[in-house]
Amino acid sequence: MSVQILDGRPVAAAIRGELRAEGARLAARVGHPPAIAVVQMGRDPAADRYVRAIRRAFEEVDLGFQLRALSREAPVAELEAALRDLNADARISGILVQMPLPPHVPPDLVPQTLSPEKDVDGIHPLNAGRLAQGDQRAFVPATPLGGLELLRGYNVPIAGRHAVVVGRSNVVGKPMALLLLHQHATVTIAHSRTSDLPALTRQADILVAATGRPGLIRAGMVRHGAIVVDFGVNVVDGKVVGDVAFEEVAAVAGAITPVPGGTGPMTNVMLIGNTLLAARRAHGAD
């Protein structure tokens, strides 16, 4: 049996086409294109690259993009003021705060200030709670939502299967586990304190890696024919690699997402989808 490569690019492209059309309809109705604002504190090459990619993704589908760049040393009040300003700006439908923030920013400042209606990356506790409860009004973090849409794009059956999610962050692992649970998978969440990780991952019909540990998932940890979803984005010797040792795992898996080109291309498309959802709701079109 040869492995199926779950390429995110064609799936992302198809969804992008639909979103462009929807964006144009909304722009005609409201009088301006829906827009996202990205708030960035300080500079670093990886964050700059990510912000540029978001800008490109939004401009490609004729949606608005605004960057609020603050210095790394900016007082907390400045960040708060920027968020309140964007919350109140009717031309901005979605707000994304580039993480991590500098250490002088209290961890609960953004969740407490950001409007949950514009929280298109699902970091607000109201959205996280809604996701946990299976409430359709939740904004779901873009990366795990993209992972789920990728599985859907390839018609991977989820209901009744055992999904093991390795990683429990609030932005990737935990929401992915909840999304799979809502699709009626039986879900196990593993993390750095899990004992005998290989014994657990070998039980997975769907194995999800979201650890930031390059090559953590080896062939011996994967059941023959399993579906393997790799969210990892790690730079090793100047090359982007996932959390899964791709070559050896591809030899045993039934299907696998490549890195790059698997879950990555889906993320910004989901961010666009969430921004349009926020715009529809703000204008009573949902």
Minimum CB distance to ligand NDP, residue 88 (Å) = 29
- Crossing angle, helix 142-153 and helix 173-182, to 10 degrees? 40
CB of 53 to ligand NDP, least distance (A): 10
* Strand 227-230 relative to strand 255-256, pairing: parallel
CB of 226 to ligand NDP, least distance (A): 17
Least Å distance between CB 188 and ligand NDP? 12
Contact residues for 124 (Cβ-Cβ < 8 A; gap 6+) = 111, 114, 116, 139
- Shortest distance (Å) from residue 31 CB to ligand NDP: 32
Residue 26 vs 101, nearer CB to ligand NDP: 101
Q: Which is nearer to ligand NDP, 21 or 99 (CB)?
A: 99
**Contact predicate 271/61, CB 8 Å:** no
Are the C-beta atoms of residues 172 and 209 closer than 8 Å to each other? Answer: no
The residue among 113 and 267 lying less far from ligand NDP, judged by its C-beta, is 267
The residue to which tokens 């699902």 are assigned: 122
The tokens describing 15, both together, are 């969804």
Question: By C-beta, is 84 or 152 nearer to ligand NDP?
Answer: 152
Residue whose CB is nearest to ligand NDP in the complex, by number: 169
Nearest to ligand NDP of 158, 208 (CB atom): 208
Shortest CB 118 distance to ligand NDP, Å:
20
User: Is the separation of the CB atoms in 180 and 147 below 8 Å?
Assistant: no
- What are the structure tokens assigned to 235, written together? 């730079």
Pick 229 or 277: Cβ nearer ligand NDP: 229
Q: What helix, strand, coil percent values describe the chain, rounded to 5?
A: 45, 15, 40
Write down the least CB distance from residue 185 to ligand NDP, Å.
19
Q: How far is CA 279 from CA 30, 108, 139, 143, in A?
A: 9, 25, 12, 20
Given the complex with ligand NDP, which of 28 and 235 has the nearer CB atom?
235
**What size, in residues, is the chain?**
286
First to last CA, the chain: 44
Q: Which residues bind ligand NDP (CB under 6 A)?
A: 143, 166-169, 171-173, 190-194, 197, 210-213, 216, 231-234, 243, 263-264, 267
> How far is it, in rounded angstroms, from Cα 250 to Cα 195?
25
